C-alpha cells in the first residue's frame, strides 16, 4: 500500500515537480488555496483547501505519513517593499506554525515533518565558508530563516522527525531565478553580476526534488 505524502506549496515550482517524482510510488495530496486550479495542473494528485475546518485538516494530517511544507512567496519577483517583506515572512512562518499545530492535535502523527528553509540563513559574507553549524545572519533573510525553522520545532516534542532543508537558488528553465537572469541576454544586454568573485550557491531543480525524496526515504537524517 503506497504511503501518503501531504505537500503544502505543491503548486509552486518545486512542489509540483516533487509531486510528479513521487506519484509513481506514493499517494500525493496537496494543501492549497485554490483546489480547482491545482487539479488542473496536476490531476493525478488529490487536493484539499486550507479553508476546510480544523477537524477536517487534523484528519488529513492523521492520514499522512509525511508532511512537507514548501509554501512561501517568491523572493525573486518584484521589489522588496515593506508589504512584500511581510508576505515573504508570513507565507513561510505562518503556514509552518499552522501545520505544526495541526500535527500536535492529530491522534496519529506523521512520521516526518519536512520543511523548506534557505541558505539565506547564513547571510552574504563572502569572506567565510558556512556549514549547517554556522550562526545565522542578522539581516532580513537570516531572520526569516531562523523564525521559519523555529516554527517547525513545535513537533520536536511529539516524536515526529523534523528536517529543515536549507535550499539555495533553484535553477530551472520553467520559473524562478534563471529566466530572470537569462532575459537580458535575449535582448543582447546581458552582463555578469557584481565583481564575479561573489558566492552564488545554487542547485538544479532535478537535484533538489531528488534530495527531498532522499530525505523522505532515509529516516536517519
CATH number at residue 97: 3.40.50.720
| Mean pLDDT for all residues in the chain | 92
**Domain tally, the chain:** 1
- For the chain, what percentages of helix, strand and coil (3-state, to nearest 5) are there? 45, 20, 40
The answer to whether residue 184 sits within a structural domain is: no
* Model confidence at 123: pLDDT above 90: no
pLDDT band of 139, cuts 50, 70, 90: very high
pLDDT reported for residue 99: 98
Residue with cell 516524536: 159
The answer to whether residue 13 sits within a structural domain is: yes
Per-residue pLDDT of 173-189, as tens digits, reads 888 777 777 787 888 87
Average pLDDT over residues 146-166: 97
Average pLDDT over residues 145-153: 97
Q: Which SS3 state, helix, strand or coil, does residue 161 take? A: strand
Contacts (Cβ under 8 Å, ≥6 apart) of 50:
31, 32, 33, 57
Question: Percentage of the chain surpassing pLDDT 70?
Answer: 100
pLDDT band of 124, cuts 50, 70, 90: confident
pLDDT reported for residue 59: 98
* Model confidence at 127: pLDDT above 80: no
Which among 65, 59, 24, 61 is positioned nearest to 45, based on CA atoms?
A: 24
The answer to whether residue 181 sits within a structural domain is: no
pLDDT reported for residue 160: 98
pLDDT reported for residue 77: 78
The answer to whether residue 176 sits within a structural domain is: no
The answer to whether residue 191 sits within a structural domain is: no
pLDDT reported for residue 2: 85
The answer to whether residue 139 sits within a structural domain is: yes
Average pLDDT over residues 89-109: 97
Average pLDDT over residues 193-200: 76
Task: Give the burial class of 166: count Cβ atoms within 10 A of its Cβ; 0-12 exposed, 13-18 middle, 19 or more buried.
Answer: middle
Distance CA 191, CA 196 (A): 10
Which among 207, 168, 2, 162 is positioned nearest to 67, based on CA atoms?
A: 162
pTM of the shown model: 0.92
Domain that holds residue 28: 4-170+202-217
The answer to whether residue 31 sits within a structural domain is: yes
Cell of 53: 475546518
DSSP 122: G
pLDDT band of 193, cuts 50, 70, 90: confident
Distance CA 145, CA 117 (A): 6
pLDDT reported for residue 185: 81
The answer to whether residue 32 sits within a structural domain is: yes
Amino acid at each position: 500500500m503506497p504511503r501518503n505524502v501531504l505537500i503544502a506549496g505543491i503548486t509552486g515550482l518545486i512542489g509540483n515537480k516533487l509531486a510528479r517524482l513521487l506519484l509513481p510510488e506514493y499517494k500525493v495530496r496537496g494543501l492549497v488555496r485554490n483546489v480547482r486550479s491545482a487539479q488542473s495542473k496536476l490531476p493525478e494528485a488529490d487536493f484539499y483547501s486550507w479553508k476546510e475546518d480544523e477537524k477536517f485538516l487534523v484528519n488529513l494530517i492523521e492520514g499522512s505519513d509525511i508532511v512537507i511544507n514548501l509554501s512561501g512567496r517568491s523572493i525573486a519577483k518584484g521589489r522588496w517593499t515593506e508589504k512584500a517583506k511581510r508576505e515573504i515572512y508570513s507565507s513561510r512562518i505562518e503556514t509552518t506554525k499552522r501545520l505544526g499545530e495541526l500535527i500536535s492535535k492529530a491522534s496519529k502523527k506523521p512520521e516526518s515533518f519536512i520543511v523548506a528553509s534557505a541558505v539565506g540563513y547564513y547571510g552574504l559574507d563572502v569572506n567565510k565558508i558556512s556549514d549547517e553549524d554556522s550562526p545565522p545572519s542578522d539581516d532580513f533573510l537570516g531572520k526569516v530563516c531562523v523564525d521559519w525553522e523555529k516554527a517547525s520545532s513545535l513537533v520536536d516534542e511529539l516524536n515526529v522527525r523534523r528536517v529543515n532543508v536549507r535550499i539555495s537558488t533553484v535553477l530551472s528553465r520553467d520559473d524562478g531565478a534563471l529566466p530572470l537572469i537569462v532575459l537580458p541576454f535575449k535582448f543582447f544586454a546581458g552582463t555578469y553580476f557584481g565583481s564575479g568573485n561573489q558566492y552564488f550557491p545554487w542547485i538544479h531543480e532535478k537535484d533538489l526534488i531528488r534530495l527531498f525524496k532522499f530525505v523522505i526515504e532515509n529516516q536517519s537524517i
